[in-house]
Amino acid sequence: MTKLPSHVDIREVSLRDGLQIESPIGLSAKLDLLGAVAATGVREVEACAFVSPSKVPSMADAEQLAAHLHRFPGIGFSALVAGTGGARRAMAAGMRAIEYVVAASDAFSRANSGRSSAEATAQIGEIVAIARDSGAVVEVMIATAWDCPFDGPTPPQRVFDIAAAARDQGADRIGIADTIGTATPGRVSALIAGLRPVIGGIPLSGHFHNTRGAGLASAYAAVCAGVNRLDASVGGLGGCPFAPGASGNIATEDLVYLLTDSGIDVDIDLKAAIAAAKVAESVVGHDLPGALLHAGDRIRH
């Protein structure tokens, strides 16, 4: 076991991964959620996705949202892109950090971005070049890193190969995403152990869903393997429109509780995260699955 990190950075993804499966909620509702998220003390927020408005209607207002981000100077914002067109839109909108999604499985890659995993991988260098021209950084987010809803289990070598390409093509960061929430701690530990020699010193982040209840256990396994950057979404909002069976991201407030109670420092205030989760429930108009939303913070300690 690697020594546990003393601090874990949590990137809030409710505005992007959280909302993408929801009906479009309107810009002012997004700004309400963003305001509540900003009040948690979070330092990184994935704000939107520059993708096809017809495929993901809830992200159609990415440019409009991006125009408001200057109001939150303490937060580093990023946006998801699925190709060069989205990367150019993100740069034009002033984004200075992007997540470029490369699915490790072909079937998901085709459903998500209309091309094979190899084709998406080959474009990393071009995405990096577009970002560099604007002084922006690129995280290559490897989707379906453990399982694909169509192809089944993802051979770990596919993940290693994409990570090697990301390294060789100049990615600033690499992320591994359990897109459909089927990863478990044992496979998380194993994949990260295999990735380390491939990626060397490139920062690695983890993105987990809680579809089968194992999301927080998988996230903690990633932390035990030295990962110090995790995605989470207030209330457990989230899902993926192209991944049948996917459900919510791990809930920010539950992750904050787990990490801080385990002795690991985070930037996010627990009570403010629970408050933001309630705002998230309000803006989407339905209950969210986060545990602390239901349990409350009943025991002081």
List of residues contacting a copy of itself (CB under 8 A): 1, 4, 147, 149, 152-153, 180-182, 184-187, 210-214, 216-217, 219-221, 224, 244-245, 247, 251, 254, 257-259, 261-264, 290-292, 294-296, 298-301
Residue pair 142/163 in contact by the 8 Å Cβ criterion: yes
Q: What is the DSSP string of the chain?
A: -PPPPSB-EEEE-IIIIITTTSPP--HHHHHHHHHHHHTTT-SEEEEEEES-TTT-GGGTTHHHHHTTGGG-TTSEEEEEESSHHHHHHHHHTT--EEEEEEESSHHHHHHHHSS-HHHHHHTHHHHHHHHHHTT-EEEEEEESSSEETTTEEPPHHHHHHHHHHHHHTT-SEEEEEETTS---HHHHHHHHHHHHHHHTTS-EEEEEB-TTS-HHHHHHHHHHTT--EEEEBGGG----TTSTT--PBPBHHHHHHHHHHTT-B-SS-HHHHHHHHHHHHHHHTS----HHHHH-S-S--
Pairwise CA distance, residues 86 & 161, whole Å: 24
**Residue 62 or 293: which CB sits closer to a copy of itself?**
293
Least spacing, CB of residue 120 vs a copy of itself, in Å: 21
Pairwise CA distance, residues 165 & 162, whole Å: 5
Indicate which residues carry an active-site annotation. 240
Least spacing, CB of residue 17 vs a copy of itself, in Å: 17
**Residue 168 or 261: which CB sits closer to a copy of itself?**
261
Least spacing, CB of residue 257 vs a copy of itself, in Å: 5
**Residue 212 or 278: which CB sits closer to a copy of itself?**
212
**Residue 1 or 74: which CB sits closer to a copy of itself?**
1
